[in-house]
Amino acid sequence: MNISTVVEHIEDFLKQAEMIGIGSTRKVYRFENLVIKTFLHPIGYAQSKNEYEMYQTLGMKGLEKHIAAILFMNDKYVIQPFYEQLPLNNHCSYDIDLETDSRITEDLKAALHVIDHELDGFDFKDSGNYGLDEEGHLVLIDYGMTKKLYEEQWVILAEAGKLPQIRFEKCRVCNIEKELRMYGEVDTHNRCVSCGKDY
């Protein structure tokens, strides 16, 4: 579908879209072959802005093939191609071995090196930050959190209970132990996304 058409009718498309993920600062929807990320917090916007700038830098170096492209961004949304998410392991994400995983291409390794050493990015091991392309190769789909943004803003708000953190607990509705996003230590609203926790 034409990106300009999606942008023009984005609110209508969001009503039809399937929510496929939620982080502490962004909510993620799938509409056909696109992902629309909405910002739950200004940090989410900052993350997407970082992704846009990182993607541009990697493009100039010819290292963007296995990094999810930024097709459109404004102060409310960012649109990227959809990639199949990696399956969870026991309802949880897991660490990827960046050296030995056969799904990691050489250009992705080089891109991760640039993001890590030149662009202040981090958190590349979490499987939740990757999708799979049609050839079964890993594609980095969530890469906008920098060390500076994490340390100077995210940690402070998370420790204050203003941003959710992941905890492994039993959902009180489906009774399955899985990753739940909790707002601080006093949050007892233990429902997973699938079971309708309001954000």
Within 61-176, residue ranges assigned H as helices are 106-117, 147-149, 155-159
**8-32 b/e with 16+ CB inside 10 Å = b?**
eebeebbeebeeebbbbbbbbbebe
Mean pLDDT by 10-residue block, N- to C-terminus, for the chain (199 residues)? 88 91 89 94 96 97 97 96 91 89 96 96 91 96 95 92 86 89 79 71
**Confidence at residue 199, expressed as pLDDT on a 0 to 100 scale:** 45
The gap from C-alpha 84 to its chain's centroid, in whole angstroms, comes to 13
Is-above-0.75 flag for pTM?
A: yes
Q: Where exactly are the structural domains of the chain? A: 3-163, 164-199
Residue 89 pairs in a beta bridge with 92
**Confidence at residue 197, expressed as pLDDT on a 0 to 100 scale:** 61
Phi, then psi, of 89 in degrees rounded to 5 = -110, 110
> Which residue from 36, 29, 68 is spatially nearest to 52, judged by alpha carbons?
68
Does domain 3-163 fall under CATH 3.30.200.20? My reply is: yes
Can you tell me the distance from the alpha carbon of 15 to that of 103, in angstroms, rounded to the nearest whole number?
34
